[in-house]
Amino acid sequence: MLQMLKMGDRNDRVPMMTRRTRRTTICATPAGANSKQANGSAGEKTSSQPSHSNRKVKEEKRVHEPVTTPRKERSKTSERFSCHVLQESLLSSASGYSNYRGILNWCVVMLVLCNARLFLENLIKYGILVDPIQVVSLFLKDPYNWPASCLIIVSNVFIMAALYTERRLSVGTISETTGTFLYLVNLTTLLFFPSATVLTLTSITPVGGAFALCVYTILFMKLYSYKDVNMWCREIRHTKARTLTRSHSCPSFAQSNGSAVHTHVSYPGNLTHRDIYYFVFAPTLCYELNFPRSPRIRKSFLLRRLFEMLFFIQLQIGLVQQWMVPTIQNSMKPFQDMDFSRMIERMLKLAVPNHLIWLIFFYWFFHSSMNFVAELMRFGDREFYQDWWNSETVTYFWSNWNIPVHKWCLRHFYKPLMGRGVNKWVAQTAIFLVSAFFHEYLVSVPLKMFRLWAFMGMMSQIPLAWFVGRFLRGNYGNAAVWISLIIGQPIAVLMYVHDFYVLHYVSQS
């Protein structure tokens, strides 16, 4: 009995000792250690009982996890329940956020709603004022008398004079001095003949006269470029066979496997009627012997541009008749009474339709019309404007909103002045001076009065450009450019309309 109890006690003590040994082993083994660090017998037991070792490893992990990673557990818990991080507000400049498309759409919606309210108010107050027949009367006083159209047809005389002068110069029949003199007479007459005709004839309307003068001004710039380029060709021409070839500017081409085969032209092969008339009608002011050409005429593109031309010209006429004309008529009384508060109110009221019509005109002329002509003539260079709406300086605006004029000024005016050693600031001022002259020329002559408002408006761009470039940058500069466009134009419009009204109506009454 005693032996059995001793045997039981011994059996009870063995598992207890085994348990204690196991606990001691677990506590002494570091995290991630192998079971081989236990005693040899344990290692033998591990090799012989793999399932028991797996349980031991799991127990080791379970025991050591809360002891070694309390901070990690706390951080995981805090991350699970936290909802705040270190960050800037979206409208702060430090946030780097730049996607404001929704705000832009909101601005467009608000603009449409505000203008819709103004348009509805205009309809309620004045009724429908759009009259297509009145548009025809703006160009013609007498349906059987077309002085502006006849004046444009006469411009072919100056084109032929330039062509035959160049032909005589190319073969050496006349000297360079004589050719320069003939060009001087031709280009001077090209400017003064139409202006004298418009001022003399009473049958020509202001709109018809302005259109004819625009055609003559464009032709003046084209023929000036034609003269310069041919002169440069004569300067670089070497002694070799001179045979007239077909011009690539308006080529006669053959078909080869469905593609056009062109001949590269060299001077004096460009001195043909087809070449000069292609240049006259092409949407550019700078002449080249070999213009870039598109491979074919895209009919769908051509029809889209034609539809835009017809739609936007009708829209402009309707907005002028329905919106601008009543506002201008209501502005005459404050100007006569010199009521400055009412004058400012009229000017701001006129600014909205005037600027909207100007934007529509830009798209109609520089995108729809010029792309239509370029596609019809397969003229390849379609860069008629750049991103002037992002202008942060006044000079950037004038350099990018009318690329054909900018290229002409740069090529035939600015660079030659710089080549003669003229200061950069003086050359830029000279360009603004020439631009101011043509702006005044195209407004004062058709209205038959000289008030220099357009001239002073263009020359005021010089100090404005200096101020904006010196003191305003980024968005502030862009806002200054937009303000000058929105406010400057209606001021000039009201000045000319007021003076025209006083000169032709008040004085007669």
Catalytic residues: 439
Name the maximum alpha-carbon separation found in the chain.
151
Residues contacting residue 367 through CB under 8 Å, at least 6 positions apart: 308, 384, 385
Tell me the backbone φ, ψ of residue 486, rounded to 5 degrees: -75, -40
C-alpha span between 335 and 495 (Å, rounded):
9
8 A C-beta contact, residue 396 and residue 311: no
8 A C-beta contact, residue 168 and residue 174: yes
8 A C-beta contact, residue 327 and residue 350: yes
Tell me the backbone φ, ψ of residue 245, rounded to 5 degrees: -120, 170
Cα–Cα distance list, 493 to 20, 331, 483, 488 (Å): 105, 11, 16, 9
8 A C-beta contact, residue 208 and residue 135: no
Distance of CA 17 to the CA centre of its chain: 90
- Give the CA-trace dihedral at 83, 88, 92, 98, to 10 degrees: -80
Contacts of 501-506 spanning 24+ positions with Cβ under 8 A: 501/332, 503/449
8 A C-beta contact, residue 64 and residue 31: yes
8 A C-beta contact, residue 458 and residue 435: yes
C-alpha span between 289 and 276 (Å, rounded):
10
DSSP string, 225-289: HHHHHHHHHHHH--SS-------SSS---EEETTEEE-----TTTT-SHHHHHHHHHSS-SS--S
Size of the chain, expressed as the number of residues it contains: 509
Classify the phi-psi angles of 104: left when phi > 0, otherwise alpha if psi is within -120 to 50, otherwise beta.
alpha
Sign of the torsion formed by the C-alpha atoms of 149, 152, 153 and 154: positive
